[in-house]
Amino acid sequence: MLGFSRRRMALTFPRAGMSAKRPPIEYEEATAEVRAVYDDIMATRKTDWVNNFWKVLAHDPPTLRRIWANIKQVMGPGTLDPLTKELLYVAVSASNGCLYCIASHGAAARSKGMTEAQYSELLAIVGLANETNRLVTALGVAIDPQFL
Residues 68-97 that bind its own copies (CB under 8 A): 70-71, 73-75, 78-80, 84-85, 87-89, 91-97
Percent of residues in the chain assigned helix, strand, coil, to nearest 5: 65, 0, 35
Q: How far is the CB of 114 from its own copies (least distance, A)?
A: 9
Rounded distance, CA 80 to CA 88, Å?
A: 10
Tell which positions 22-51 bind its own copies, by CB under 8 A.
22, 24, 26-28, 38-39, 42-43, 46-51
HSE-up of 122 (CA within 13 Å, CB side)? 23
- Establish if 16 lies at the interface with its own copies (CB under 8 A): no
- Establish if 53 lies at the interface with its own copies (CB under 8 A): yes
Q: How far is the CB of 86 from its own copies (least distance, A)?
A: 9
Query: How many beta carbons lie within 10 A of that of residue 25, not counting itself?
Result: 21
